[in-house]
Amino acid sequence: MTHARLHLMAKASSPVRLQSELMESAARAGALHHRSAAEQIEYWADLGRRVARVLDPDTLLDLAAGAVRLHLEPVVTPSVSPEQVFAAVDADRASGILVGAVTTAPLRYQVATGSPGYLEQIAADGTRMLGSFQDGVFTPLNTPDTKA
C-alpha cells in the first residue's frame, strides 16, 4: 500500500500521510466540482463532521451495511415576509414590550465601526468582544475588554 503526503495549505500545521488510492479518488471526485485533491479531502472531512452531528456511528455502520434505509424528507417552513416582521416589531414597540426585551438581554450586538464585517458583543457588565457569527454561534476574534 503506497502513501501520499498531503499538505492542506495554510489550514494545517503539518503534512498528513494518506493512502495514494485516497488521493487519486479525491483528485477524480474533486475534478468534477473544480476542487483540488486537498480541497476535496477537506470537503469530505467537513461533510463527515456535519453528518456525525446528526447520525451516531452505529447508525452510520448500519447504513453502510445496508441494515437500515435512510429516508429524506424536505423540511417545509412557513415563509415570513419582511412586512410581517416589521409589523410585529412595530406592535412590540407600541406596546412597550420591545424596550423591555432589548434592555434586559444579557448580551447585545452592534456593528463594529472600526472593523467592517464584524460585530461587537457587549455583555451586561460592559465587557466587549469583537467577532462574528458562524453557524449561529458568536465567535470572538479577540479577548474580553478589548474595544473594537
Average pLDDT, the chain: 84
Report how far residue 69's alpha carbon sits from residue 63's, in angstroms, rounded to the nearest whole number. 6
> 26-37 pLDDT, tens per residue?
999 999 999 999
Tracing cell 479531502 back to the chain, one arrives at 41
Can you give the pLDDT at residue 6?
A: 54
Dihedral sign (CA 48, 49, 53, 56): positive
Can you give the pLDDT at residue 10?
A: 47
> 54-72 pLDDT, tens per residue?
888 899 899 999 999 989 8
Report how far residue 148's alpha carbon sits from residue 145's, in angstroms, rounded to the nearest whole number. 9
DSSP string for 104-133: T-SEEEEE-TTSTT-EEEEETTS-EEEEEE
Q: Cell triple for residue 98?
A: 420591545
pLDDT surpassing 50 at residue 119? yes
Query: Where exactly are the structural domains of the chain?
Result: 3-65, 82-140
Over residues 91-118, the mean pLDDT reads 84
Task: Dump strand ranges (E) for the chain.
Answer: 3-6, 16-19, 107-111, 119-123, 128-134, 137-140
